[in-house]
Every structure is written in structure tokens, then in C-alpha cells.
Amino acid sequence: MGMQDYKKIHFIGIGGIGISALAYLSLAEGKRVTGSDVADSALLDDLRENGAMITIGHDGDLVTDDTELVVYTEAIDPASNPEYQKAKELGIPLLSYFQALGQVSRAKKTIAIVGTHGKTTTTAMLGLALIEAGLDPTVIVGSKLKEFGRKNLYIGKGDLFVAEGCEYRRSFLSLEPFGVVLLNCEAEHLDYYKNEEDYVSAYRKLINQIPDDGFLVVNREDANAESLIQCCSGRVIEIGAHDAEELALNLKIIGDFNRLNATHAYKAAEAVGANTDEVRKALEAFGGAWRRLEHKGTFKGALVIDDYGHHPTEVRLTLEAVKKAYPEKRLICVFQPHQHSRTHQMLEEFKEAFGSADKVIITDIYAARDTEEDKAKINSEKLTAAIHHPDVSWGKDLNYTFGLLEQEAGENDVILVMGAGNIGMLAERLTEK
């Protein structure tokens, strides 16, 4: 049975940016949707307005005898989660978010957008381009889009399915792709993967799944991505900076990396027969996704930009792009490291990542999946001391960092808030009226 065959579905961790999209999709198909999460949010309020019954906190009693399927986020520990254990006890089928996403992909012609950086923006771009071209795809993206009514899902009637594929724990292998857009392939999630080769091997297996009549759009300037071309039995479309220059898209969003992202999206849309004039129109109209170089407002006259970037390459390229866009402004980077393990493993890269900023504030590390051993190896104070920059300070918690910005910020500044944890709350606080 596939997800479409179940009528009563319970979602554990329903407020996650990915799993919430499946909940919306289930509601749109007329299914009964229940769910749980650890904290309330605006996203949960939206789901409730659409008919979901959601409880804050985990409780085995939320999984009832008439529940037909349980979908769970990989953020939980199945061994200790009472709802997961209750479903097992009752013999109710269990699917991880990505397993459930894979079931959706089997019923469609799926285009998977994968890579270490840029997945969300490129997924949004491709989805909007195909919508503008009249192909009416279903799109699941890892962020909220204003074009989707501040949701992360668009439900189309066409046969195309555009999905952002996450490589953590090889999750994207649950997808059954007709096409793959491979943006880049740089070692990441080394708390799971053994090394860079192990990381690359997950992409190799995904590309091997592309059928003979399918396609791969790939960044030829990324060494690991380029090495995977031979794994594709379908059509290979290679692109690079020259192609982005030749295409000459007049984008609203900044950054050479976004020009390359847009070129990937353009070539993928072209590969499935989209009208390229309509594709260009959609790409040039795109204003960006939530927490991707998002302009939030001002604080004491300073422009506040919020961004999800947390890998050292993302930090470096994003800072370069913002500095290029605002060369006369002082650029203050407020960075929240994500995971002690990632921070320790990539310390050498982080040391050199902040060169384009005029001032750097490093907040405490946002712990996720970290062991006590991980936490003992590195902290933000040590990271701050290691960074090669003339003006870097330890911001401690978000309240302390807010106080530093109150003292520092002025009309000639741009404040770039970066990180994958709860640092977005700081951007909200800075710009709330």
C-alpha cells in the first residue's frame, strides 16, 4: 500500500518543515490527519486551520486503534518515543518522512534536487518555473514560499513531482527519480558518514537510479559532482559559471551561487519540455525563500538579513555575496554554529570563512544529535578564539548577542544572521515592531 491508500494518518513531529508538507498533502486529499510535536509554532497553527488535530507533547495515547499509518520525523529516537512504540505494539505501519516521500514520488515523474548547498532555493526556483510554464507540478520544498501562501507545498495536477532530497542518512535514496539536479557534493554530515568518499557514495547510488530516459543536470565545476556523471545511464546536462553568464538571467536574489542555482533550474525545466521564455520569467521574478538571504527589516537603522547557512562554504559564499551587494556598508555577521560535531570536524574551514565580514559575533553552538563527547571537543568560545578575523567576539546566548547588537548597530550597517538552529528568533526579535 502507498500513502494514497491510507485515510487516517498520524504524524510524529508534524511541525517539521518537510513532514508538514506531507501533512498538508494528506489534508488536501481528504484524509484524517493527527499529529504531535514538542513545541507550538505558526506552521502548526496553519495546519490546524486546514483541519489537522495536533497535540503538543508526545503521548502513546495519540496513536489510536483506528490509525492506519504513522509517519515520523527522523529527529525522534524511535526506541524512546511513546507514539512510535504504540504504533509498533498495535501493528500499525510506520514510515519515516523520507520513506513516505518516496511513496509519493513513485506515483509521479520525480525530479530530485540534491547537493550540499543550495537545494531549497533551487527546488523553489524549478517548482515556480514549471508552474509558470503550465506543467502544474507538485512541489515540496524545505522552506516556506510566499508564492505557495507561506507554505512549503504546492499541489499540482500534472505528472511532475519536484522534491528537495536530503542526503543525511542517505534519505534521498527513498526517492525514485526520473531526473536529478546535482548542485555540488562537498563532505557534510560527518556525524553519520565515515568520510568524504562514503558521502559521495550516497550520491552515486542515487544517480544510478536514474532511468535510461531520465536526465541529470550536474555542476561540472564541482569535482565530486563531475566524477559522478559516469553513473548516469540517462541524459547528462553539464553546466558551469560560463553557462550562467551566457544565460544572463536578471535575478532579484544576490550571489553568484544563486546564478548557478538558477541555471540548474532552467536546464532541468528545459529538459522536461517547459517553455523557456516562461521559465526565464519565473526565475527572474523569484524573490527568495524563507531564511534564505531573507530581508527581515531594520534594527536601529541597520538592514537585517536572515539566512539558514551553516556549512563553512555557505558562510563564506553568502558573506561574499552580501558584501558585494552592500560594499559601502559595515557587514556584521552573527553566526550560530550548528552541531558540536560539525563545528569540530570543520574547524579549519570555519577559521577562514568570515573574511568578508567587518565584524563577527559567534553565538553558543546549537546542539543537535551531539553526544557528550562531541560537546567536550569544542564550544563557541574556542571557535571564536580560533577564527582568523580582526574583530570577532563571543556572543554567548541569543539574549547576550541581542545586547551586543544594541550597542553596535547603526544606520551604516548590514546585520547578517546565519545558522540552522533557532537563530532565526534573533532576526525576528531585532525586526519586530
Q: How far is CA 35 from CA 1, 97, 99, in A?
A: 21, 13, 17
Q: How far is 114 from 182, CA to CA, in rounded Å? A: 5
Give which of 138, 142, 133, 151 is closest to 171, Cα–Cα: 142
pLDDT at residue 134 in the model: 98
Spatial contact of 337 and 310, defined as CB atoms under 8 Å apart: yes
Q: Once rounded to an integer, what is the mean pLDDT over residues 366-394?
A: 94
Instruction: Cite the DSSP H helix spans in 172-255.
Output: 196-208, 223-227, 241-247
Q: How far is 396 from 407, CA to CA, in rounded Å? A: 15
Q: How far is 239 from 181, CA to CA, in rounded Å? A: 11
Cα 104–Cα 71–Cα 424 angle in degrees, nearest 5: 95
Spatial contact of 416 and 305, defined as CB atoms under 8 Å apart: yes
Q: Please give the radius of gyration of the chain, using alpha carbons only, rounded to the nearest integer.
A: 22
Cβ burial 185-208 (10 Å sphere, 16+ → b, else e): bbbbbbbebeeeeebbebbeebbe
Does the pLDDT of residue 433 top 80, yes or no? Answer: no
Residue spans per domain, the chain? 3-99, 108-285, 294-431
Q: Residue with C-alpha cell 527513498?
A: 174
Distance of CA 278 to the CA centre of its chain: 26
Spatial contact of 414 and 330, defined as CB atoms under 8 Å apart: yes
Give the Cβ contact number of residue 286 at 10 Å.
22
The answer to whether the predicted template modeling score (pTM) of the entire model surpasses 0.85 is yes
Element containing residue 256 per DSSP (H, E)? helix 256-271
Tell me the backbone φ, ψ of residue 401, rounded to 5 degrees.
-60, -40
For the chain, helix, strand, coil in percent to 5 are 40, 20, 35
- Confidence band for 384, pLDDT divided at 50, 70 and 90: very high
- Confidence band for 169, pLDDT divided at 50, 70 and 90: confident
Query: Which residues, 6+ apart, have CB-to-CB distance to 163 below 8 Å?
Result: 101, 104, 105, 110, 111, 112, 113, 123, 139, 140, 175
pLDDT at residue 3 in the model: 83
Give the Cβ contact number of residue 348 at 10 Å.
10
Three-state SS for 329?
coil
Give which of 210, 252, 266, 253 is closest to 233, Cα–Cα: 210
Tell me the backbone φ, ψ of residue 235, rounded to 5 degrees.
-75, 135
pLDDT tens per residue, range 283-338: 999 999 888 999 999 999 999 999 999 999 999 999 999 999 999 999 999 999 99
Q: Which CATH architecture has domain 294-431?
A: Alpha-Beta Complex (3.90)
Residue type, 195: N
Q: How far is 351 from 387, CA to CA, in rounded Å? A: 4
CATH class of 108-285: alpha beta
Does the pLDDT of residue 20 top 70, yes or no? Answer: yes
Q: How far is CA 122 from CA 136, 268, 288, 306, in A?
A: 17, 10, 10, 18
> Among 51-55, 136-140, 354-358, 366-370, which stretch is predicted with the lowest mean pLDDT?
366-370
Cα 48–Cα 54–Cα 58 angle in degrees, nearest 5: 160
pLDDT tens per residue, range 74-110: 888 899 999 999 999 999 999 999 999 999 888 899 9
pLDDT at residue 369 in the model: 80
pLDDT at residue 107 in the model: 87
Does the pLDDT of residue 2 top 80, yes or no? Answer: no
- Confidence band for 342, pLDDT divided at 50, 70 and 90: very high
Domain 3-99 has CATH 3.40.50.720: yes
